[in-house]
């Protein structure tokens, strides 16, 4: 792109930022390289230096570049992306990322029993109106960096005491298999993008307006019974999603 499209509904700075992302991804500037000066970029794209600064600020916010006063703008080392495979259940995915060399652990933020069950979990878990739900809120760390918040709901009669089980700070899937003999065989997933609340941003050490990629899932046992209804809110700048489709 040699100039911005002034007829586009996208702001000029956003178009410049997107093209700079493309140029970095294609290797025009490598890690540690100083990218072209603001004046040169302004001339290349046919915009003002103010617009270029806005574009560079977007890249800096996403940790793609580092701006050094009096020196210029440099490409930052890029972290290895986390790829969430939507073809896998959450437990199988946790095992997969360990196989890929990532470390992962969970920290319990909140747990307990809910009576009556919240309306949004009654149908997925096939609960009676007077049923009881076991609830877990965990913060997920990957390579010791907060990456997601994981909310889980269970029929308390199916997994009694899980809200007090210390094993869930390690692997929830291992705990379900070891303590209860349950291994889910399939999951139904829904994906949406939302804005984080202030509380959520604090929990994952992110800016308050970071987008969250929310995976809502219900896992099922071999006999068709629902086991867990979960909601995992991933930081949008720390994860990519993969899915395989067949014709």
Has residue 81 got a pLDDT over 70? Answer: no
Give the integer Cα–Cα distance in Å for 124 and 119: 10
Give the integer Cα–Cα distance in Å for 210 and 200: 10
Q: What is the CATH number of the domain that holds 38?
A: 1.10.10.10
Q: Which of 26, 25, 11 is nearest to 58 (CA)?
A: 11
| Cα 54 to Cα 10, 28, 31, 43, 246, distances in angstroms | 14, 21, 21, 15, 42
Looking at the structure, tell me whether residues 70 and 98 fall in a common domain.
no
Looking at the structure, tell me whether residues 62 and 110 fall in a common domain.
no
Has residue 195 got a pLDDT over 60? Answer: yes
What is the domain count for the chain?
2
Looking at the structure, tell me whether residues 127 and 36 fall in a common domain.
no
Q: What is the CATH number of the domain that holds 222?
A: 3.40.1410.10
Looking at the structure, tell me whether residues 58 and 108 fall in a common domain.
no
**Contact status, residue 4 vs residue 52, Cβ threshold 8 Å:** no
Query: What is the pLDDT averaged over residues 159-163?
Result: 95
- What distance, in Å, lies between the first and last C-alpha atoms of the chain? 35
Average pLDDT taken over every residue of the chain: 85
Residues 6 or more apart from 30 whose CB is under 8 A from it?
75
| Cα 91 to Cα 20, 54, 64, 124, 226, distances in angstroms | 37, 41, 31, 18, 15
Domain that includes residue 16, residue range: 12-75
Looking at the structure, tell me whether residues 136 and 237 fall in a common domain.
yes
Task: Give a yes or no: residue 5 inside a domain.
Answer: no
Looking at the structure, tell me whether residues 60 and 179 fall in a common domain.
no
| Domain termination site, one of 75, 106, 126 | 75
Looking at the structure, tell me whether residues 208 and 103 fall in a common domain.
yes
Q: Which long-range contacts (CB under 8 A, 24 or more apart) does 20-29 make?
A: 20/55, 20/56, 20/59, 21/59, 21/64, 24/59, 24/64, 24/65, 24/75, 29/75
Query: What is the pLDDT averaged over residues 129-150?
Result: 88
Helix (H) or strand (E) holding 45: helix 38-45
Considering 76-90, 91-105, 136-150, 195-209, the range whose residues carry the highest mean pLDDT is 136-150
Model confidence at 156, in pLDDT bands (50, 70, 90)?
very high
Residue 192's SS3 state is strand
Q: Which of 36, 53, 34, 33 is nearest to 2 (CA)?
A: 36
Q: What are 53's two structure tokens?
A: 């600064």
Looking at the structure, tell me whether residues 169 and 69 fall in a common domain.
no
Residue 238: the pLDDT is: 67
Has residue 9 got a pLDDT over 80? Answer: yes
The percent of residues above 70 in pLDDT, for the chain, comes to: 90
Has residue 90 got a pLDDT over 60? Answer: yes
Residues 6 or more apart from 196 whose CB is under 8 A from it?
204, 206, 208, 209, 210, 211, 212, 233
């Amino acid at each position: 792109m040699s100039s911005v499209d002034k007829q586009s509904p996208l702001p000029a700075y956003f178009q410049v930022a997107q093209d700079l992302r493309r140029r970095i991804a294609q290797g025009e500037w490598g890690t540690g390289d100083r990218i072209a000066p603001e004046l040169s970029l302004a001339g290349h794209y046919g915009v003002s230096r103010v617009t270029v600064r806005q574009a560079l600020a977007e890249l800096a916010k996403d940790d793609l570049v580092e701006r050094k006063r009096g020196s210029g703008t440099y490409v930052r080392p890029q972290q290895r992306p986390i790829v969430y495979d939507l073809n896998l259940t959450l437990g199988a995915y946790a095992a997969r990322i360990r196989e890929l060399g990532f470390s992962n652990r969970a920290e319990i933020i909140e747990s307990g029993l809910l009576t009556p069950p919240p309306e949004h979990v009654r149908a997925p878990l096939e609960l009676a109106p007077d049923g009881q739900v076991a609830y877990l809120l965990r913060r997920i760390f990957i390579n010791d960096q907060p990456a997601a918040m994981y909310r889980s709901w269970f029929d308390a009669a199916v997994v009694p005491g899980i809200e007090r089980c210390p094993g869930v700070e390690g692997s929830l899937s291992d705990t379900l298999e070891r303590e209860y003999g349950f291994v889910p065989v399939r999951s139904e997933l829904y994906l949406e993008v939302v804005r984080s609340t202030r509380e959520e941003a604090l929990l994952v050490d992110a800016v308050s307006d970071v987008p969250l990629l929310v995976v809502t899932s219900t896992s099922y046992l071999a006999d068709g019974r629902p086991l867990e209804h979960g909601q995992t809110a991933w930081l949008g700048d720390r994860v990519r999603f993969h899915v395989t489709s067949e014709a």
